[in-house]
Amino acid sequence: KQEVTQIPAALSVPEGENLVLNCSFTDSAIYNLQWFRQDPGKGLTSLLLIQSSQREQTSGRLNASLDKSSGRSTLYIAASQPGDSATYLCAVRQGRYGGATNKLIFGTGTLLAVQP
């Protein structure tokens, strides 16, 4: 059964710092991995989607990497800003014979606080 975990559970950094959030998954047979941002009491905003065949995806100050064989993904945030404060979730779409399942399996989340 796929398990997705995220380390650290919480992180506080001063504004301007570069930071890395980690996501690990136990079953490497994934179809893709998606990073989300969740603001308190709000929905999930999709940040990046990495296909299983890709190593990296970039969007603005965000860079996500994927090492499928080791079951890891990282989200790198450059020059962090107070507005980046939120919970960051990773989610994997499990691969299976004949195609991926539809469901996303979510991690535990990292609560990020960027101090001004």
82-111 binders of another protein (CB under 8 A): 89, 91, 93, 99-109
Residues 35/48, Cβ–Cβ less than 8 Å: yes
* Window of 11-19, 28-36, 55-63, 73-81 that interacts with another protein by CB under 8 A: 28-36
Q: How many Å from the N-terminal Cα to the C-terminal Cα in the chain?
A: 41
For residue 30, the surrounding DSSP H or E stretch is strand 30-38
Among 32, 57, 73, 110, binds another protein (CB under 8 A): 32
Write phi, then psi, for 85 (nearest 5 degrees). Answer: -65, 120
35-64 binders of another protein (CB under 8 A): 36, 41-46, 49, 51
Instruction: Look at residues 40, 33, 39 and name the one whose alpha carbon lies nearest to residue 106.
Output: 33
Residue 69 DSSP label: T
Closer to another protein by Cβ: residue 69 or 102: 102
Q: Which residues in this chain contact another protein in the complex, by CB under 8 A?
A: 31-32, 34, 36, 41-46, 49, 51, 89, 91, 93, 99-109
